[in-house]
Amino acid sequence: MEALSPTMEEGRLVKWTKHEGDAVKSGDTLAEVETDKAVMELVARADGQLLKVLAAEGATVPVGNIVAWIGKPGEKVDGASGGQPPTAAPKPPPAAAAPAAKAPAPAPVPVATAADATRVKASPLAKRIAKEAGVDLNLVQGSGPGGRVIKRDVEGAPAPAAAVAAAAPRTTPDARRTGVPYEDVPLTQIRKTIAKRLAASIGPIPHFFLTTEIDMERAAEAREALNKQLGEAGGKISFNDIIIKAVALALVQHRACNAWFQEDHIRYWNEVHIGMAVAIEDGLITPVIRNADLKNLREIGAESRELAGRARTRRLKPEEYTGATFSVSNLGMFDIDQFTAVINPPEAGIVAIGSIVPKPVPEGGGDRLVVRRRLRVTMSCDHRVIDGATGAAFLRTLKQMLENPLAMLL
């Protein structure tokens, strides 16, 4: 098992693309492996024949452990020789449990049971939604890695017939009750990594938080004008694109915030690489917009859409989600007014973006109220790198740029 990402400690074998007895060449894809960040290809490092597979699909294998042997045709291989055997996945039920003559007659329309979720490769969220909706996962075509059933597959599946639902035994009106008091779901690789990194962040890093409210009327007007000029074929500029650009330009002016904390020094970056937090089905990943200060809004918009799309399908390359110098986390689309984000070490700061909300604000000396679109932004700072006044100065510059987009041209 190779280290397919800089932080990978173990990998889960999603799918073998080569099988025992197949001829392979150096560079051929042997398997798809779920790392802590993405699903990546494990490639052959020698020519020959795939003699022995030591790790089944679904197995989690530590980096450095043997998953398969490649050798000369006919060469004998001891299945456990040459290293510690990998951690085996739970054995799946056999494909045919009994001869056809003894098999029970199938029901006209299968009804989902708690056991259905264990026979199909599916994400924990997809399993839960399927249980609540009474959807049989055996009838759902998976579109995730290795044919895995994910949320959108279940949501697009037809609901079971009302008659079948009525005939199903029900001991409680709550559809989530299955007779099993709870379900233990193993951590995915990305969820393990999130747990480790958050423990390494919120505990050791002395966070402090700064919040400001920004008038977004001019930014909204500029966005509407730009999108009208771009037309349908030009791609749309989002508020998030504008915020990423403004953050990048503010960091150019406040280099003290564009920094990494290292064990015995602080690294101040001359380049600006913005991490863009993207929610995926079972966690969070942060693709990086590199040199964001040098890119225009159209370039940032196209790149952010491309990276976010591949992040959700777990197809990012390691260089596309590592090396951020500062991060932006936006929950405005979820109708969240304000929140605090956890710093992603070794970065020294992150801004949390809430919803843009129409609010009454005083105007003309306070003698009348007008409705303006407002945005609350909270900056999380590593106090080992950023002092209060330093963070406040950065937020003031960010506010000036968003309240007057022409300031981005200076």
Residue positions annotated with a catalytic role? 383
Q: What's the rounded Cα separation, in Å, for the pair 170 and 175? A: 8
The string of DSSP letters for 140-200 reads ----SGGG-B-HHHHHTSPPPPHHHHHHS--SSS-TT--S-S----PPPHHHHHHHHHHHH
Closest CA to 293 of 381, 404, 403, 398: 398
- 198, 342 Cβ separation under 8 angstroms: yes
CA–CA dist 300, 237 (Å, integer): 9
Distance CA 12, CA 380 (A): 33
- Assess contact for 273 and 292: CB atoms under 8 A: yes
Q: Give a three-class secondary structure readout of 206-264.
A: CEEEEEEEEECHHHHHHHHHHHHHHCHHHCCCCHHHHHHHHHHHHHHHCHHHCEEECCC
Distant-in-sequence contacts of 116-121, Cβ < 8 A, 24+ apart: 118/93, 119/92, 119/93, 120/149, 121/58, 121/146, 121/147, 121/148, 121/149
- Tell me which H or E stretch contains 119: helix 116-119
As a whole number of angstroms, the distance between CA 402 and CA 248 comes to 12
Dist. CA 19–CA 49, nearest whole Å? 9
State the residue for tokens 């299955």: 178
**Exposure pattern of 73-94 as b/e (b: 16+ CB <10 Å)?**
eeeeeeeeeeeebbeebeeeee
Q: Which token pair is 360?
A: 């009454």
Helix axes 297-312, 239-253, angle to 10 degrees: 110
